[in-house]
Structure formats: C-alpha cells, structure tokens
C-alpha cells in the first residue's frame, strides 16, 4: 500500500473506532461486536507499524495498554483535591443554602445540581490540548501518576478538539467509574472461574486504576464523567459554561445536571434522582450542589477541607437493623470458604432479607461481630444486602466474638489461606463433597458441556448413591443405574443419556473450561485452547510457556500447572478422553465449495440467523471470496445482519457498496 492510501485508511479507521468508542461510553452499549472492533484495531495497528509517521496521539491504538508500571510516581496537586461537605436532610441543606446567601448579601445566587457519581476522583492535566498526566486523589495534596492506565479509558480524551483555541494548560477533574453492568459481568466471569468476587463497582474501579498492567485496565471497561476545570485565565465565568466547555472539548460530561435558582428546585432535583438513580447505569450516592458564578465561588472561598460554595446531599441508603442468628459457611467448587450471615427476617427496600454476605474472615474482624449482635443491613449497589455495622448498645456483655473456623465445615480438613489472598480454602479438592458437587455442576452448565436434564438435586442423588465421584463418571452411567434414582422413570433416564451422548460433540475449549481449573474462565479456556491446540500441550506446558498465551498471567499459569501436577486430575482428564470428549481444537480447513465469489470482497456486520460470524466468514472463503474488516472502496458487498453498526452502513451507502441480507448472500452462492 502506498503511503497516501495508508494515510486515508488510518484516518477512516481512527474516525470509525473513535465513533464506536464514543457510542460505547455514552450509551453504555456497543453497536458492533468486540470481534469486529478488534479486527479494525488490528488493521490500524498494522498500518501504524508500517507507517510510523501516521501514528497520532489520539489514535485508538494508544488505548489498548501494555505498559507495566512497578511503582507509580507521586505528584503534588497544584489545586488540592478537596472533599465536599455532606448534608443528610433537607433541613441541613436549607442551612447550607442560607449560609451561602448570607455570604453573598443582596446577590442573586444560581446553583448547579449534579449527580454525585460513586467512583474514584481523578485529575487530568492537559498541555497544548494533549493529556500529559493523570493523577489520583491520594491524600488530597499529592496523588499517584497513573497516566498509562487513564489512557485506556475511552471517555478520557487524549487530544482535544480545537486545541489552539483552548488555554495552553489546565486541569480537569472527574470521576472514574465502572458501570454497574460491566461490574456484574466481571463478577459473573470471576464466579465461573472460581475467583473471589469483587465487593462493588467503586472499589473495583479504584483497584483497577492502580493495576500495574495497563492492558488489564483496558479490558476492565472503565468510564469517566468530568465535572470541573481548574486553570488560569479560563475563558468562562460560570460553572455552567465550564461544563459546556468540557463537552465541546470532547470530555464525557453527564447530561443529568440542572440549574436551580430556588431551594425548592434543588429539592425537586433530589426527589427526582432519589428514585431515578435506581435505573441509572452508574452508582450514585447523592447529589452535588455548586454555586454557579465563579466570582461568587471566590467570594465564598474555602474551609480547611472543602469549598464553601459547594456541598453534597447524601441519599439515604435503605437500612434496617436486625439480629444476627448464625454464621454459616459455604464451600465453593474451588474450595473457597465464604461466610454467610443468617438474619432474623426483615423487610428492606420491598423484599424480605434473611441472609447477608460477608466476604471473608477480615470482614468479620473488621465488623467485630459477636454472637447475637444486632446488625445494620443495607442494600446499596450490590444485589445481596450487606452488613454495614453493629449496634453496640444492643450487645449483651457476655456475647462472645464470632470465631473464624479453622476446619472445613463440610469435610473437616484444615483450611489454608494463600499469601496475599483474603479467602480461606479447603485444600481437599477431590474429597470434599460441596467441591465435588460444585465441580460437576460447573461441568454440566450451558457454557461448558451443556448437559441437559442434570440439575443440582440429580447430581447430588447420583453422588449420594455412589454412582459418580466426578464429572467423568457421568459417562459410565447405565440406564439401570439411572432408574434407581428417586423420581427417575424411563423417559428421564433416556433424556440424561441422550444429553450425555450429545455433549461428546462439545468443542475442546468448552471441555477445558468445564474441567474447572481455578482462574480459568470461559475466555481464558478459549485462549489456551487456541494457543496450545490440545490437552497434552497444555498439561505439559511450563509456567513460562503458559505465560506466552494471550490473557495468561502468573496467577493463571501457576493454577494451570498446579492442576495438572495432581494425579487425580490427570486421571480425570484421561477418563474424559476415554469417554470420547474432544481433547484438541478442530482447525477449520477451507474446503472449497465453489468459485462463485472469486474476486469479490465482503464485509460482514451484525448478528445472523443461520450463521455464527466465523462460519459466515468460512463460507465466503470456501467459495473463493475475501473478507475485510472495514468498508472501503474495494468492498463489493456488505452482508448486513441484525444490529449492524450505523457507521458501516453510512459508509457503505456513501461509497455505493451493495448491502445484502443473509438470504441474498446465500442466493449468491446458489444455496
């Protein structure tokens, strides 16, 4: 490709990718698949590698991370990062408004009401329109420089629009957060991989910003709302204008703010959002009220800790007190032990609560829980309510502190705690009933071997009846054995056998996921399978070799080698092999079906009825066609599925590329 064509291509890809990024962080959803996005990004990366002069500071390739930071340097804030005063009732808020008014005698005061986003504060330093530094709050005076991590957040502009018209240096303050859905999906993935669950989106965002590997940060899909500008000779006089300025310059500003001129209007804003926040995709813990005029802000000034011209109003988290009846312990499939607080039933936010999660032994110690304590239970961003405190006044003097257990509640084995981990584990992996049952349930789930008609009760009955000791034993079950199970009739027995037989066609990556290796979720299993191709290569791989696979870090590599070094697991794998399960990836060969598409280039977009994307691609190639990742002058056909990206459509239309449906495509190849 000549450099002129490359330059045009780089601009087009950059524009498209930046547009998709923007849609993603403003609507919290995407219009193209991750696969398509990655393919376009790879194409851009390749072009930038070939023509380094085309690499721009705001290229989407600069957001994929890859920098490893061992220790973050500290930076002294030019403008200290203050906290805000809190108010908890309309009376307290009325007092604050009265104080503001008293400080500005005979002046009309306007307020800007904003949501108080529950994330981590960040300071973004721009020089000549370019992001030069991102700093955490730290102690308010100095914070950590985490620029490589901040650059992975797509809502943070790397290069500002109209930089020549902007002040040469200024600082933007905002809140980095993890949208609730991203958090829930991340936790689901962790649960499936047997990793400890994360407590809430805020702590997760905060922990993520401090990670050493920025490519992991990039994968975590953080987002950021900006809400303040600091600098000298700024070209505006009110907070409202500064928000408008931020938006114009390309920052992500939440459109939820509102101007209020009376106390009643502030209260209306609060009442509206106290309810509406439940459907807002980001956790909020209150609202922030700021005096609009900068001149008035200056006149009011600061106390030692916070500005007098702004305050926050905290939403009341729904909270009740109830008695702690007992702590029980659950043992998960990987042996992790989780305490659960059993509570006297109480109604909280419309539902009856009987249990609350306590994450681990540290949490019991932090709360200093005693037997029979009255505890405060709160429903915040989390689905399961949590214990936020103890009513010391209600504690009986003879109440004993809750003692953490030293042995597994299921099998009695002494628990262990790995260095640096908060959770305790039962090491009796292959002999502890809840671990065995959990592993079998994991094996049969939809995302793994997808064996139907095998619920937890059936699995437990099979185990109790001595029919199975692990998931591989399922494949040795006979109809007679199944008929001995409670509630099993001819039909249900046949169904289970049919489900088992059908599962033998499961692709290797899902069999690998089904084995339940700690830290190996569906995505990692997929990467391992594609990298090593078969089970023998994986089971004999050294830690160093494992680290070469994409998405595999030290923890995963250690966990994989530990798994295969155990004799019981090696035996289990050979049982699975003997049962006829796939132990290697099937490479899709291009078997020619014809030459109907020779010389034609296709772009595919969206979701299809009859095809997975890869299959459609294979079909095109099998008929002699080529598949490209983005629409260009060379594209002959855009095969459009459901939910196709709007920019692809627009581009295809503007270039006069033929847009065809899946059916029309099949007609092209005469099928």
Candidate ranges 1-9, 112-120, 261-269, 270-278; the one touching ligand IVH (CB under 6 A): 112-120
The answer to the question of residue 288 lying near ligand IVH (CB under 6 A) is: yes
Kindly state the smallest distance separating residue 283's Cβ from ligand IVH, in Å. Answer: 11
Q: Quick one: which of 83, 141, 261, 565 contacts ligand IVH (CB under 6 A)?
A: 83
Kindly state the smallest distance separating residue 367's Cβ from ligand IVH, in Å. Answer: 24
Residue (117 or 563) nearer to ligand IVH, CB? 117
Locate the DSSP E strands across 571-668: 601-605, 626-628, 637-640, 658-660
- Closest residue to ligand IVH, judged by C-beta, is 121
Inter-CA distances, 274 with 17, 279, 290, 314, 626, Å:
36, 10, 18, 10, 54
User: Is the CB of residue 420 less than 8 Å from the CB of residue 435?
Assistant: no
For the chain, helix (H) and strand (E) counts, in that order, are 24, 21
Inter-CA distances, 412 with 45, 407, 438, 548, Å:
54, 5, 17, 39
The answer to the question of residue 273 lying near ligand IVH (CB under 6 A) is: no
Kindly state the smallest distance separating residue 254's Cβ from ligand IVH, in Å. Answer: 8
| 197 phi/psi in degrees, rounded to 5 | -80, 150
Candidate ranges 114-122, 335-343, 467-475, 598-606; the one touching ligand IVH (CB under 6 A): 114-122
Q: Cα-Cα-Cα-Cα dihedral of 141, 146, 147, 150, to 10°?
A: -110
Kindly state the smallest distance separating residue 83's Cβ from ligand IVH, in Å. Answer: 4
Q: Quick one: which of 167, 207, 307, 624 contacts ligand IVH (CB under 6 A)?
A: 307
Residue (172 or 524) nearer to ligand IVH, CB? 172
Q: Quick one: which of 16, 36, 48, 114 contacts ligand IVH (CB under 6 A)?
A: 114
The two beta strands, 310-314 and 120-127, are unpaired
The answer to the question of residue 84 lying near ligand IVH (CB under 6 A) is: yes
The answer to the question of residue 227 lying near ligand IVH (CB under 6 A) is: yes
The answer to the question of residue 121 lying near ligand IVH (CB under 6 A) is: yes
Kindly state the smallest distance separating residue 151's Cβ from ligand IVH, in Å. Answer: 20
Report d(CA 452, CA 495) in Å as an integer: 8
Q: Quick one: which of 48, 144, 175, 195 contacts ligand IVH (CB under 6 A)?
A: 175
- SS3 of residue 374 by DSSP: strand
Residue (121 or 437) nearer to ligand IVH, CB? 121
Q: By CB under 6 A, how many residues form the interface with ligand IVH?
A: 14
Residue (82 or 184) nearer to ligand IVH, CB? 82
Could you give the angle at which helices 554-565 and 567-579 cross, rounded to 10 degrees? 80
What is the residue whose two structure tokens read 């114009």?
248
CB atoms within 10 A of CB 524: 24
Considering the candidates 19, 22, 56, 116, report the single residue annotated as catalytic.
116
Kindly state the smallest distance separating residue 237's Cβ from ligand IVH, in Å. Answer: 17
Q: Quick one: which of 72, 96, 117, 488 contacts ligand IVH (CB under 6 A)?
A: 117
Report d(CA 159, CA 59) in Å as an integer: 9
The answer to the question of residue 192 lying near ligand IVH (CB under 6 A) is: no
Kindly state the smallest distance separating residue 29's Cβ from ligand IVH, in Å. Answer: 23
Question: H/E element holding 260?
Answer: strand 258-260
Report d(CA 151, CA 59) in Å as an integer: 11
Report d(CA 639, CA 661) in Å as an integer: 6
Listed in sequence order, the residues at least 6 apart from 443 whose beta carbon sits closer than 8 Å to its beta carbon are 449, 451, 471, 474, 514, 515, 516
Kindly state the smallest distance separating residue 86's Cβ from ligand IVH, in Å. Answer: 8
Candidate ranges 109-117, 431-439, 476-484, 617-625; the one touching ligand IVH (CB under 6 A): 109-117
The answer to the question of residue 508 lying near ligand IVH (CB under 6 A) is: no
User: Which strands make up the sheet holding 601-605, listed edge to edge?
Assistant: 626-628, 601-605, 637-640, 658-660
Candidate ranges 111-119, 354-362, 539-547, 637-645; the one touching ligand IVH (CB under 6 A): 111-119
Kindly state the smallest distance separating residue 363's Cβ from ligand IVH, in Å. Answer: 25
The answer to the question of residue 228 lying near ligand IVH (CB under 6 A) is: yes
The answer to the question of residue 310 lying near ligand IVH (CB under 6 A) is: yes
Whether 433 is catalytic is: no
Residue (116 or 518) nearer to ligand IVH, CB? 116
Residue (246 or 644) nearer to ligand IVH, CB? 246
Residue (151 or 239) nearer to ligand IVH, CB? 239
- 53-82 residues in contact with ligand IVH (CB under 6 A) are 82
Kindly state the smallest distance separating residue 116's Cβ from ligand IVH, in Å. Answer: 4
The answer to the question of residue 313 lying near ligand IVH (CB under 6 A) is: no
Inter-CA distances, 350 with 314, 319, 384, 582, Å:
21, 12, 13, 48
Kindly state the smallest distance separating residue 225's Cβ from ligand IVH, in Å. Answer: 7
Residue (227 or 443) nearer to ligand IVH, CB? 227
The answer to the question of residue 167 lying near ligand IVH (CB under 6 A) is: no
The two beta strands, 284-291 and 111-117, are antiparallel
Could you give the angle at which helices 201-209 and 180-193 cross, rounded to 10 degrees? 80
**Whose CA is closest to 81, among 253, 222, 230, 210?**
230
Report d(CA 75, CA 135) in Å as an integer: 7
**Residue 332 tokens, joined:** 């998960």
The answer to the question of residue 116 lying near ligand IVH (CB under 6 A) is: yes
| 181 phi/psi in degrees, rounded to 5 | -65, -40
Inter-CA distances, 493 with 205, 337, 461, Å:
48, 34, 14
Kindly state the smallest distance separating residue 269's Cβ from ligand IVH, in Å. Answer: 12
Residue (288 or 482) nearer to ligand IVH, CB? 288
Please compute, for residue 277, the number of CA atoms within 13 A of its CA located in the half-sphere on the CB side: 23
Residue (116 or 519) nearer to ligand IVH, CB? 116
Candidate ranges 46-54, 110-118, 420-428, 627-635; the one touching ligand IVH (CB under 6 A): 110-118
Residue (114 or 192) nearer to ligand IVH, CB? 114
Q: How far is Cα of residue 583 from the mean position of the Cα atoms in its chain?
A: 30
Report d(CA 348, CA 385) in Å as an integer: 9
Residue (307 or 409) nearer to ligand IVH, CB? 307
The answer to the question of residue 444 lying near ligand IVH (CB under 6 A) is: no
Q: Cα-Cα-Cα-Cα dihedral of 157, 160, 166, 171, to 10°?
A: 20
The answer to the question of residue 597 lying near ligand IVH (CB under 6 A) is: no
Candidate ranges 124-132, 157-165, 305-313, 497-505; the one touching ligand IVH (CB under 6 A): 305-313
List residues binding ligand IVH (CB under 6 A).
82-84, 114, 116-117, 121, 175, 227-228, 288, 307, 310, 312
By annotation, the residues acting in catalysis are 116
């Amino acid at each position: 490709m000549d450099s002129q064509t490359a330059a045009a291509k780089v601009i087009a890809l950059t524009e498209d990718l930046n547009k998709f990024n923007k849609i993603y962080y403003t609507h919290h959803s995407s219009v193209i698949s991750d696969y398509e996005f990655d393919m376009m990004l790879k194409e851009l990366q390749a072009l930038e590698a070939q023509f380094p002069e085309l690499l721009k500071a705001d290229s989407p390739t600069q957001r994929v991370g890859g920098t490893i930071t061992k220790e973050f340097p500290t930076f002294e804030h030019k403008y200290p990062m203050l906290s805000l005063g809190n108010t908890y009732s309309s009376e307290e808020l009325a007092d604050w408004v009265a104080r503001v008014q008293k400080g500005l005698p005979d002046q009309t005061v306007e307020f800007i009401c904003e949501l108080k986003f529950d994330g981590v504060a960040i300071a973004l330093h721009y020089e000549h329109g370019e992001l030069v530094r991102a700093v955490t709050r730290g102690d308010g005076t100095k914070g950590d420089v985490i620029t490589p991590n901040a650059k992975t957040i797509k809502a943070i502009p790397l290069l500002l629009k109209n930089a020549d018209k902007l002040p040469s240096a200024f600082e933007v303050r905002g809140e980095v957060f993890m949208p609730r859905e991203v958090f829930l999906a991340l936790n689901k993935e962790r649960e499936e991989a047997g990793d400890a669950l994360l407590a809430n989106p805020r702590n997760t965002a905060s922990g993520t910003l401090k990670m050493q590997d920025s490519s992991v940060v990039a994968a975590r899909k953080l987002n950021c709302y900006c809400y303040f500008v600091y600098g000298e000779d700024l070209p505006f006089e009110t907070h409202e204008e500064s928000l408008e300025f931020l938006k114009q310059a390309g920052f992500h500003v939440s459109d939820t703010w509102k101007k209020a001129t009376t106390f009643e209007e502030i209260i209306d804003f609060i009442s509206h959002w106290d309810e509406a926040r439940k459907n807002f995709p980001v956790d909020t813990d209150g609202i922030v009220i700021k005096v609009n005029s900068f001149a008035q802000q200056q006149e009011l000034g600061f106390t030692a800790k916070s500005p007098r011209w702004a305050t926050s109003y905290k939403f009341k988290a729904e909270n009740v007190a109830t008695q702690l009846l007992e702590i029980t312990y659950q043992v998960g499939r990987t042996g992790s032990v989780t305490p659960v607080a059993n509570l006297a039933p109480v109604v909280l936010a419309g539902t009856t609560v009987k249990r609350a999660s306590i994450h681990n032994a540290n949490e019991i110690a932090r709360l200093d829980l005693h037997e029979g304590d009255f505890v405060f239970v709160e429903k915040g961003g989390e689905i399961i309510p949590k214990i936020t405190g103890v009513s010391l006044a209600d504690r009986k003097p003879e109440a004993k502190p809750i003692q953490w257990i030293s042995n597994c509640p299921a099998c009695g084995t002494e628990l262990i705690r790995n260095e640096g981990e908060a959770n305790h584990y039962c090491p009796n992996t292959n002999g502890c009933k809840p671990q065995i049952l959990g592993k079998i349930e994991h094996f049969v789930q939809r995302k793994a071997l997808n064996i139907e008609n095998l619920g937890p009760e059936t699995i437990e009955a099979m185990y109790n009846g001595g029919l199975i000791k692990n998931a591989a034993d399922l494949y040795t079950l006979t109809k007679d054995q199944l008929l001995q199970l409670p509630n099993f009739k001819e039909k249900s027995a046949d169904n289970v056998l049919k489900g088992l037989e059908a599962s033998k066609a499961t692709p290797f990556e899902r069999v690998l996921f089904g084995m339940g290796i700690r830290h190996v979720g569906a995505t990692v299993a997929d990467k391992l399978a594609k990298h090593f191709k078969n089970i023998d290569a994986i089971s004999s791989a050294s830690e160093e070799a494992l680290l070469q696979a994409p998405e595999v870090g030290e923890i995963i590599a250690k966990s994989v080698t530990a798994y295969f070094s155990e004799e019981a697991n090696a035996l289990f794998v050979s049982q699975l092999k003997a049962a006829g399960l796939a132990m290697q990836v099937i490479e899709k060969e291009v078997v020619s079906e014809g030459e109907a598409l020779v010389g034609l280039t296709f772009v595919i977009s969206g979701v299809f009825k009859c095809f997975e994307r890869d299959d459609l691609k294979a079909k095109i190639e099998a008929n002699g066609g080529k598949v490209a990742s983005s629409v260009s002058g060379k594209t002959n056909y855009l095969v459009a599925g459901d939910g196709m990206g709007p920019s692809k459509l627009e581009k295809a239309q503007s270039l006069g590329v033929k847009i065809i449906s899946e059916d029309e495509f099949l007609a092209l190849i005469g099928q």
